Amino acid sequence: MTSRSLSFMSDPLLPGPCKACATPSAIPRSCLAPAIASRPAGLLGSLHPDFQRFPMTRLLTASDIATLVARHQDGRTLAQDFYMAPQVFTADRERIFFRDWHLAGHVSEIPDTGDYLLFDMLGESVVVLRDDAGAVRAFANVCRHRGARLCSQQTGHVRRLTCPYHAWSYGLDGALVHARQLDAGEDRSALGLKPVAVEVFEGLIYVSLSDRPAGFDALRAELTPHVRPFGLARTKIAARRSYPVQANWKLLVENYNECYHCTAAHPEFARSHATHMTADRVAPLNAALAARSAQAGLSTAHIDRIGLAAPAGSPDYAYNRYALFDGYQTGSADGEPLAPLLGDIQAYDGGASDIYVGMLNPMLVYCDHAILYRFIPTGPLTCIQEILWLVHEDAVEGRDYDTDRLTWLWHVTTEADKRIIEANQQGVASRFYEPGPLVEMESYTRRFHDAYLARMR
């Protein structure tokens, strides 16, 4: 992307550290609301490099954001400020990302007592570990002494969590076990690590930064019978790739929620998956799939608890299995198998299952592998899309699967998505942009808007 000239409104510029996503001591390069000196001339050079890509949006108050929400036209895309304004991104952090559930990893990453992984997002860091009883726990990666990070490596193994600063140490249950010279009057039991909400669903580890996260009871009760045959708890991560995208996170989620663009943007995907077709054309394919799925031991139920359809106090969740075109057994270049069958599956049925656990954690499960997505915002105009490929836990690379073949389809598809989403962001940044109408095949994008706006009210 090339630099653009700045267009300023009458509002004063924000002085000091980033108001959207940084602490005073650390402003990440991806931040799009940098420390800005209020200088009438030569201002371009003082701006953060990422911020120079687009015109500066006006500064919004809470009242302005409420007005934007109230003025949204149902069935159209969002107003420009939702995709651009640092103040909207600040609200997104608090009302979406710090409240929702996020995929942190898979149980295969922490098989033994003392194994840990880190989940990092928007300046927060969470240690997810296996405790002495074999349970999965999560704690803020913050020492209770002076706040230093306890763990710096993304994965590792520890007997205790020991701060590298002053050597305070904590058990795998989070309790403080050692603190040199701590005053005898201090209550050590009150100085344990801050717990973070964690849930394990079919081997997938989810964390929430909320003090009162949505409960998993309804999700677990309804989804488990349909998801368990895939045996996701008995899989392992075969590959992991990250795709930095120069766009607001909402454009990534919108893009994933519709296949209206698939014919034009994803010829590799469109020749094997029927989701780019209208409902009347795909219905016969899905009807034929139902019989094959039953023989394979797989569900073709349609469960839709997305957005406003989610039970009270529950995260979003969904399950839907759809047909691949004839001749395709899985999501491969030639339709041929990529890895051993998952879980309890008896045979290939020529289908794929879309599964949601939370708003931001879609997955696509074929008979022989699964694709997990993470949308990780890094600033108002930057995001990372991470993909994890799962295969059966006993599969051996080079014998049972080839990593390049396994990852090919969703690598080329995601690279294409990255290009079109960044082009979308460039257009949304234009003074000529205005919200456009959504079509029938974008109904889930529309529902994402409904759910998002409900949380912003």
Q: What are 78-103's pLDDT values in tens digits?
A: 999 999 999 999 999 999 999 999 99
pLDDT for residue 362: 96
**Same domain, yes or no: 334 and 362:** yes
pLDDT for residue 276: 64
**Same domain, yes or no: 280 and 386:** yes
Report CA-CA distances (Å) from 221 to 218, 227, 323. 5, 11, 25
Q: Residue 9: pLDDT above 70?
A: no
> Interior CA angle at 207 toward 206 and 209, to 5°?
155
Distance CA 196, CA 212 (A): 10
Q: Is residue 21 part of a domain?
A: no
**Same domain, yes or no: 279 and 175:** no
Q: Residue 28: pLDDT above 80?
A: no
Distance CA 291, CA 385 (A): 35
Q: Is residue 228 part of a domain?
A: yes
Q: Is residue 43 part of a domain?
A: no
What number of other Cβ atoms are within 10 A of residue 76's Cβ? Answer: 14
**Of the candidates 131, 172, 135, the residue with the CA atom closest to the CA atom of residue 150:** 172
Q: Is residue 185 part of a domain?
A: yes
pLDDT for residue 282: 79
SS3 (DSSP) at 114: coil
Q: Residue 38: pLDDT above 70?
A: no
Q: Is residue 140 part of a domain?
A: yes
**Same domain, yes or no: 160 and 223:** no
Q: Could you report the per-residue pLDDT of 380-413, keeping only the tens digit for each?
A: 999 999 999 999 999 999 999 999 999 999 999 9
CATH code: domain of residue 116: 2.102.10.10
Q: Is residue 371 part of a domain?
A: yes
Q: Could you report the per-residue pLDDT of 50-75, keeping only the tens digit for each?
A: 444 555 556 899 999 999 999 999 99
> Binning pLDDT at 50, 70 and 90, where does residue 313 land?
very high
> Interior CA angle at 330 toward 288 and 225, to 5°?
70
**Same domain, yes or no: 260 and 356:** yes
Domain boundary among 174, 199, 224: 199
How many domains does the chain contain in total? 2
pLDDT for residue 32: 37
Backbone angles phi, psi at 339, to 5 degrees: -160, 170
Name the residue range of residue 158's domain: 101-199
**Same domain, yes or no: 188 and 223:** no
Q: Is residue 309 part of a domain?
A: yes
Q: Could you report the per-residue pLDDT of 108-149, keeping only the tens digit for each?
A: 999 999 999 999 999 999 999 999 999 999 999 999 999 999
Domain boundary among 164, 199, 234: 199
SS in 3 state form for 394-443?
A: CCCECCCECHHHHHHHHHHHHHHHHHHHHHHHHHHCCCCCCCCECCHHHH
**Same domain, yes or no: 304 and 248:** yes
Q: What is the pTM of this model?
A: 0.86
**Same domain, yes or no: 418 and 345:** yes
Q: Could you report the per-residue pLDDT of 356-372, keeping only the tens digit for each?
A: 999 899 999 999 999 99
Distance CA 227, CA 238 (A): 20
Lowest mean pLDDT among 5-14, 160-169, 335-344, 431-440: 5-14
**Same domain, yes or no: 441 and 293:** yes
pLDDT for residue 133: 97
Q: Which helix (H) or strand (E) holds 170?
A: strand 169-170
Domain boundary among 175, 199, 223: 199
10 Å CB burial of residue 101 (0-12, 13-18, 19+) is: buried
CATH code: domain of residue 249: 3.90.380.10
**Of the candidates 372, 369, 380, 317, the residue with the CA atom closest to the CA atom of residue 339:** 369
Buried b (16+ CB within 10 A) or exposed e, 386-399: bbbbbbbeebeeee
**Same domain, yes or no: 177 and 326:** no
**Same domain, yes or no: 195 and 251:** no
**Same domain, yes or no: 171 and 109:** yes
Q: Is residue 18 part of a domain?
A: no
